[in-house]
Amino acid sequence: MSANEATVDSGLNTFKGFSFNELRELISEKSSALIPPMVAIFVFLILWSVASNNIVTSLGNVPGPVEVAQQFKVLVIEHQNEREKAKAFYQRQEVRNVEKLAANPNAEVKLRKYTGKPTFFDQIITSLLTVFSGFALAAIFAIPVGILCGLSKSFYQALNPLIQIFKPVSPLAWLPIVTMVVSAVYVSDDPMFEKAFITSAITVTLCSLWPTLINTAVGVASIDKDLLNVGKVLRLDWWTKVRKIVLPSAMPLIFTGLRLSLSVGWMVLIAAEMLAQNPGLGKFVWDEFQNGSSNSLGRIMVAVFVIGIIGFLLDRIMLILQRRFSYDKSIELR
């Protein structure tokens, strides 16, 4: 049997388990799911191309899809070049240290860290680490407090004024306060984390904890009273009641809050990095804006698309986790 015949035979075997009608329904279902978004993206690209040719800024025409794709390629090349420089830097150090030890076995050798300019992809990693840190801190605080608010009306009434006051505060207002407090409190000769990282992470925490806290409180407060009465009849202790009844019942709304918090945290982080000039994608956008070269607009638009795609992927990850940890697998999640 030739290679082509084997390939055809393998393809036919793949569909052996389907009847013709089932196969047609499967193709129809996949097509209906894929075609509308593809058409929308195609129309968007056409409109973008037309608009970009007719809008002239001080730096030239607004870049179209092709120019933005080219700038993305340039950013990839810059990243690869920077990695090569770092590799060569460490190799030179290693050779120098080997020669130093060969001349004097007791010599003290040092391995210095490469301090080249962070690339676009380095900034992405920095932003992701920061947003996950801030989001984790927000979740650790918001879920227990939300459960307490849902279980105790008195506790909720005591805390609600503070929630309503601090919930709408902009990250631009939090940032100067957080920066000054971190600078005053976090003083160390050998700090584990950079101050910029802590400042951004705490700002994300302060702005993103509210959706999780409120949704958790609403989810817990709306649990069927009969379920809670069952816990009383069985004389469950507080922790067992929370673990066996409260958390499973409130899980959908807790995850809704977590998804909202992660989205808010991602938006807040970019603004905070721009304002405070902390490392990350926000700083990259601001630096390109200040640079003002003919390629700056294209590079900023690459960052905008990357920020949006990462935000979308973060939400998909939370949705997968929600499906994984939800007790009721029949609920349709969107």
* Neighbour count for residue 320 (Cβ, 10 Å): 11
Q: Please report, for residues 67, 124, 165, 268, 306, the alpha-carbon distance to residue 284 in angstroms, rounded to integers and kept in the order given.
A: 18, 9, 32, 15, 12
Closest CA to 79 of 24, 114, 116: 116
Instruction: Using the structure block, give the residue that is written with the tokens 């196969």.
Output: 23
* Neighbour count for residue 319 (Cβ, 10 Å): 14
pTM, to two decimals: 0.81
Q: In whole angstroms, what separates CA 283 from the centre of its chain?
A: 16
Cα–Cα distance between 124 and 307 in angstroms, integer? 9
Closest CA to 258 of 188, 317, 308, 327: 317
Contact 198, 182 (CB under 8 A): yes
Given this model, what pLDDT does residue 275 score?
83
Given this model, what pLDDT does residue 332 score?
67
Cα–Cα distance between 25 and 192 in angstroms, integer? 57
Which amino acid appears at position 179 of this protein? T
- The per-residue pLDDT for range 106-146, each reduced to its tens digit, is 888 878 888 888 999 999 999 999 999 999 999 999 999 99
Given this model, what pLDDT does residue 40 score?
92
User: Which pair of structure tokens corresponds to residue 286?
Assistant: 């601001």
Q: What is the DSSP code (8-state) at residue 18?
A: S
User: Which pair of structure tokens corresponds to residue 88?
Assistant: 């060569």
Given this model, what pLDDT does residue 110 score?
79
Contact 224, 156 (CB under 8 A): no
- Nearest 5°: CA angle at 24, between 19 and 27? 125
Residue 157 in 3-state DSSP?
helix
Given this model, what pLDDT does residue 211 score?
94
User: Which pair of structure tokens corresponds to residue 51?
Assistant: 């608009």
Cα–Cα distance between 95 and 98 in angstroms, integer? 5
For 292, residues 6+ apart whose C-beta sits below 8 A from its C-beta are 59
Q: In whole angstroms, what separates CA 185 from the centre of its chain?
A: 28
Instruction: Report the chain's terminal Cα–Cα distance, integer Å.
Output: 47
Given this model, what pLDDT does residue 18 score?
62
Given this model, what pLDDT does residue 24 score?
76
Q: Which residues of the chain have pLDDT under 50?
A: 7
User: Which pair of structure tokens corresponds to residue 95?
Assistant: 């050779």
Given this model, what pLDDT does residue 162 score?
94
Cα–Cα distance between 159 and 153 in angstroms, integer? 10
Q: What is the DSSP code (8-state) at residue 243?
A: I
Given this model, what pLDDT does residue 158 score?
94
